[in-house]
Amino acid sequence: MKNLILAVSMLSFLAAAACAGAQAKAKGVQFKPYSMDGGYFSCSVPADWSLERDEEKDEQYKIYEIQLLAPKAEKAPTSIFVSYYAKDNADFNGYEDFVKSNSSNVAGETKNSREVFEPAKKITLSGRKALLLSRERMVSLHPKSKSDETVQLKEKLYVLPAQDGFYVLHFSAQKTAFIANLPVFEKIAKSFKGKP
Amino acid sequence: MRLSAIAAGLLICGLNASAGMTAPERLAAYETALSSGDPLAAAAFLKDGEARELAEAEPQKAAALLAKAEALKDLKELLAMPWDDAKANQLNQSLSIRIDTDRPLPKMGIGPEPEKLLTWLGKYQPSYPATKKTVLKKAIRQWEVVFGTMTDTRSLSWGQASMRSGQAVTVTKSAWEGMVIRERNSVIEKMIQADPKFLIYNDERLAAAKSDVAVDVAVRAVINSGALTPAQLAQLSGKTFTEQAYLLGNFFDGSDVKVDPVLKAKINSARGSLPQEVLPAQQRDLLGSMLNTAVARELAGTQAGDRALAAFPGGLKIKVAPLSGGYSSYDPASGAVILDSETIQQYMRMKGYTANSLMGSPAQVAEIAKYMSPAVVYESAHKMQADWAAKQGVYKPHMQEDEIEAMSLEGLYTTEKMRKDAEFDRILTSSRDFSSYAFKTLEVGTEFKTGRSKRFATTVRQRYFSGLPSLDAAASQVLGAVTEELDRRSALTPSEKASIDSTGLNQEEALEMSPAELAGSVGEIQTAVLAKIQSDLSRLGVYKKHYNAAEMENSKALKSLEAGAAPEPGAPKA
Contact (CB<8Å) B454/A57 = yes
Residue in B closest to A168 by C-alpha: B451
Q: What is the mean pLDDT of residues B274-280?
A: 79
Bridge partners (DSSP) listed for residue A50: A69
Contact (CB<8Å) A60/B552 = yes
Terminal Cα-to-Cα distance of chain A (whole angstroms): 61
| Contacts with A146 from chain B: Cβ below 8 Å | 325-327, 436
Per-residue pLDDT at B168? 59
| Contacts with B433 from chain A: Cβ below 8 Å | 113
| Contacts with A50 from chain B: Cβ below 8 Å | 80-82
**H or E stretch covering A54:** none
Contact (CB<8Å) B418/A106 = yes
Look at the pTM and tell me if it is higher than 0.90.
no
Q: What is the mean pLDDT of residues B418-428?
A: 96
Confidence of residue B257 (pLDDT cuts 50, 70, 90): confident
| Contacts with A81 from chain B: Cβ below 8 Å | 455
Per-residue pLDDT at B11? 47
% of chain B surpassing 90 pLDDT: 41
Q: What is the mean pLDDT of residues B234-244?
A: 76
Instruction: Name the pairing type of β-strands A128-140 and A121-125.
Output: antiparallel
Among B97-111, B257-271, B370-384, name the most confident range: B370-384
Work out the minimum CA distance from B529 to partner chain A, whole angstroms. Answer: 32
Per-residue pLDDT at B234? 83
Please determine, for residue B174, whether its predicted confidence score (pLDDT) is greater than 90.
Answer: no
Nearest to A7 among B199, B418, B568 (CB): B199
Per-residue pLDDT at A168? 98
Per-residue pLDDT at B62? 85
Confidence of residue A21 (pLDDT cuts 50, 70, 90): very low
Per-residue pLDDT at B19? 59
Bridge partners (DSSP) listed for residue A125: A128
In 3D space, the residue among B156, B218, B203 whose CA is nearest the CA of residue A8 turns out to be B203
Q: CA torsion B99→B116→B465→A104, rounded to 10°?
A: -170
Residue in B closest to A116 by C-alpha: B574
Q: Which residue has the higher pLDDT, A74 or B547?
A: B547
Q: Which residue has the higher pLDDT, B370 or B129?
A: B370
DSSP one-letter code for B397? -
| Contacts with A113 from chain B: Cβ below 8 Å | 433
Per-residue pLDDT at A30? 93
Contact (CB<8Å) A61/B213 = no
What is the tens place of the pLDDT at every residue in A114-155? 999 999 999 999 889 999 999 999 999 999 998 888 999 999
Please enumerate in sequence order all residues whose Cβ is within 8 A of that of B29, keeping only pairs 6 or more positions apart, or say none: B3, B4, B6, B7, B10, B11, B21, B41
Q: Which residue has the higher pLDDT, B236 or A91?
A: A91
Q: What is the mean pLDDT of residues A157-177?
A: 96
Rounded-to-integer distance, Cα B377 and Cα B372, Å:
9
Bridge partners (DSSP) listed for residue A34: A43
Q: Which residue has the higher pLDDT, B226 or A19?
A: B226
Contact (CB<8Å) A8/B199 = yes
DSSP H helices in B460-493: 471-490
Per-residue pLDDT at B169? 64
Rounded-to-integer distance, Cα B477 and Cα B67, Å:
7
Question: Which of B406-443 are b and which e, b meaning 16 or more Cβ less than 10 Å from the residue's Cβ?
Answer: bbbbbbbbbbbbbbebeebbebbbebbbbbbbbbbbbb
Work out the minimum CA distance from B267 to partner chain A, whole angstroms. Answer: 16
Among A82-86, B205-209, B258-262, B277-281, name the most confident range: A82-86
| Contacts with B464 from chain A: Cβ below 8 Å | 141-144
Per-residue pLDDT at B136? 92
Confidence of residue B15 (pLDDT cuts 50, 70, 90): very low
Per the CB < 8 A criterion, the answer to whether B341 and B352 are in contact is no
Please determine, for residue A8, whether its predicted confidence score (pLDDT) is greater than 50.
Answer: no
Q: Which of the residues A50, A91, A145 would you substitute to probe the B interface, choosing the one with the greatest number of B C-beta atoms within 10 Å?
A: A91
Rounded-to-integer distance, Cα B553 and Cα B532, Å:
30
In 3D space, the residue among A196, A191, A194 whose CA is nearest the CA of residue A43 turns out to be A191
What is the tens place of the pLDDT at every residue in B446-474? 999 999 999 999 999 999 998 888 888 88
Rounded-to-integer distance, Cα B441 and Cα A143, Å:
7
- How many residue pairs bridge chain A and chain B with CB atoms within 8 Å of each other? 194
Please determine, for residue B211, whether its predicted confidence score (pLDDT) is greater than 80.
Answer: no
Bridge partners (DSSP) listed for residue B338: B319, B329
Please determine, for residue A95, whether its predicted confidence score (pLDDT) is greater than 60.
Answer: yes
Rounded-to-integer distance, Cα B24 and Cα B456, Å:
43
Contact (CB<8Å) A69/B81 = yes
Confidence of residue B157 (pLDDT cuts 50, 70, 90): low
| Contacts with B203 from chain A: Cβ below 8 Å | 75, 141, 147, 149
**At residue B536, what is the residue type?**
D
Q: What is the mean pLDDT of residues B125-137?
A: 86
Average of per-residue pLDDT values in chain B:
85
How many CB atoms sit inside 10 A of residue B159's CB?
10
Coil, strand, or helix at residue A173? strand
Nearest to B210 among A8, A100, A104 (CB): A8
What is the tens place of the pLDDT at every residue in B329-371? 999 889 999 999 999 999 998 888 999 999 999 999 999 999 9
Confidence of residue B128 (pLDDT cuts 50, 70, 90): confident
Per the CB < 8 A criterion, the answer to whether B448 and B412 are in contact is yes
CA angle A26, A29, A33 (to 5 degrees): 145
| Contacts with B559 from chain A: Cβ below 8 Å | 90-93
Q: What is the mean pLDDT of residues B72-76?
A: 89
Please determine, for residue B17, whether its predicted confidence score (pLDDT) is greater than 50.
Answer: no
Question: Which of B52-68 are b and which e, b meaning 16 or more Cβ less than 10 Å from the residue's Cβ?
Answer: bebbeeeebebbbbbbb
Rounded-to-integer distance, Cα B530 and Cα B211, Å:
46
| Contacts with B415 from chain A: Cβ below 8 Å | 106
Q: Which residue has the higher pLDDT, B422 or B82?
A: B422
Per-residue pLDDT at B160? 47
Please determine, for residue B162, whether its predicted confidence score (pLDDT) is greater than 50.
Answer: no
Please enumerate in sequence order all residues whose Cβ is within 8 A of that of B71, keeping only pairs 6 or more positions apart, or say none: B42, B98, B103, B104, B105, B108, B473, B476, B477, B480
Rounded-to-integer distance, Cα B104 and Cα B420, Å:
50
Q: Which of the residues A144, A153, A170, A184 would you substitute to probe the B interface, choosing the one with the greatest number of B C-beta atoms within 10 Å?
A: A144
Per-residue pLDDT at A25? 40
DSSP string, B318-372: EEEE--SSSSEEEETTTTEEEEEHHHHHHHHHHHT--HHHHHT-HHHHHHHHHHH
Confidence of residue A73 (pLDDT cuts 50, 70, 90): low
Q: Which residue has the higher pLDDT, B170 or A147?
A: A147
Contact (CB<8Å) A141/B552 = no
Q: Which residue has the higher pLDDT, A99 or B395?
A: A99
Residue in A closest to B413 by C-alpha: A106
Bridge partners (DSSP) listed for residue A43: A34
Confidence of residue B254 (pLDDT cuts 50, 70, 90): low
| Contacts with A7 from chain B: Cβ below 8 Å | 196-197, 199, 209
Per-residue pLDDT at A28? 76
Among A96-110, B121-135, B227-241, B553-567, name the most confident range: A96-110
Nearest to A7 among B197, B378, B454 (CB): B197
Rounded-to-integer distance, Cα B382 and Cα B397, Å:
11
Please determine, for residue B12, whether its predicted confidence score (pLDDT) is greater than 60.
Answer: no
